[in-house]
Amino acid sequence: MREVVIKTSNLTKQYGQQKSVADLNIHVQKGRIYGLLGRNGAGKTTTMKMLLGLTQPTSGKVSVWGKPLSGNEKELLPRIGSLIESPGFYPNLTGTENLRIFAELRGLTNRNAIKNALDLVGLPYRDKKLFSQYSLGMKQRLAIALAVMHDPELLILDEPINGLDPIGIAEVRAFIRALCDERDKTILISSHILSEIALLADDIGIIDQGVLLEEESLAELEARSRKYIRFVVSDAEQAARILENSFREKQITVQGRRELWVNHMETPVAKMVSAFVAHGLEVSEAATVEESLEEYFKRVTGGEGIA
């Protein structure tokens, strides 16, 4: 097991009667990308705010690099870069001027830090355009530049691809991947878009109504999603009996009058088909079906799905 960078224990945030985050235990490992996946209002932003000390947890603890966050902010926060919700900058200043303010406040001595960060997200250095005149995607890029400007070891990015065009999304994905692979950064990223997380994350935490439903590596999740064979035959009930008697197949689901799902994969498909035909059944379809991640998530979040 790798070093755990972010660990929460029973982290809870309650607003009035409603628990936005409830007993959350997440583990973000060093040098990996952790995708926090959840629908709108699931509690992703609230969780990240607590990880940064922007809101105090109602109960529970956050520890970063093995130290409790509360009380060690001065030591821990400078090593973290973050982007929370929408990008916030001074509208009367240009992108470069905005970054210069934060560079000064952070005491950055590297003169190229601002330029490098802007290059990384594809924004021009010393452009005349004011932040108020930026497009949504440009604002988002500037916010990413701010998050990475001081070369932090840990990045906490709340929906970083919001508002970006497809090419921008691919660019951001590539550079987040590169930060992780080439420079051993640890990255926590949230999204409500499953396909995005599936493309980028190494580990996935699924959060729904403030509760962590599952925390697993992507590889493990993919292995877990089921494979089955789907038959369409003239009489599904009779076909099920045939499979039970001749092949001792137990995991059979009859779907309606004509459809049949077989989970166990030991019997070759061709043998099952010839058995059906020998008993006078018509077989109009036989196919191996793999449950997509999406269907899997639909199942664990209780039907409604994500994205």
Partner 1 sequence: MSMIKTEFWKLKRYHIIWAGVLLMLLSVLLTLFSTTALDGTVWTFSFFAEQVMKNNITTIFPMCITLIAGYIINREETDDTLKSILTIPVSFRVLLCGKLIACALLSLLFGVTSVAFTVAASWLAGFPGASLPSVVQITAQITLNCLFLYIAVMPVIAIAARIQNGHLIGTVVAFVYGYGGMFAAGNMALANLYPVTASMGLIGYRSYDVSVHWNLLHCIFSMLAALLITSIIVLTAKNSAPKKTVKKGKKIIAKKGW
State the binding partner of 232 from partner 1, Mg ion, ligand ATP, none, CB within 5 to 8 A by kind.
Answer: none
Residues 258-297 that bind ligand ATP (CB under 6 A): none
Asked whether the beta carbons of 238 and 245 are under 8 A apart, the reply is no
For helices 95-106 and 113-121, angle between their N-to-C axes, nearest 10 degrees: 130
Task: Give the total of residues touching partner 1 (CB under 8 A).
Answer: 29
Q: CB atoms < 10 A from the CB of 194, how many?
A: 21
State the binding partner of 53 from ligand ATP, Mg ion, partner 1, none, CB within 5 to 8 A by kind.
Answer: partner 1
Site map 183..222 versus ligand ATP, x via CB under 6 A: ---------x------------------------------
Q: Write out the two tokens for 2.
A: 């790798």
Contact flag: residue 190 with partner 1 (CB under 8 A): no
Q: Write out the two tokens for 108.
A: 């950055």
State the binding partner of 38 from Mg ion, partner 1, ligand ATP, none, CB within 5 to 8 A by kind.
Answer: ligand ATP
| Strand-pair partners of 9 | 61
**Local structure of residue 130 (DSSP, 8 states):** B
The values of phi and psi at residue 202, to 5°, are -90, -40
Cβ 105 to partner 1, closest distance in Å?
6
Burial of residue 181 (CB within 10 Å: 0-12, 13-18, 19+) is: exposed
Site map 20..59 versus ligand ATP, x via CB under 6 A: x-----------------x-xxxxxxx-------------
Contact flag: residue 114 with partner 1 (CB under 8 A): no
Determine the 3-state secondary structure of 274 from DSSP. Answer: helix
* 44 vs 141, beta carbon nearer ligand ATP: 44
Query: Which residues of the chain form contacts with ligand ATP (CB under 6 A)?
Result: 15, 20, 38, 40-46, 192
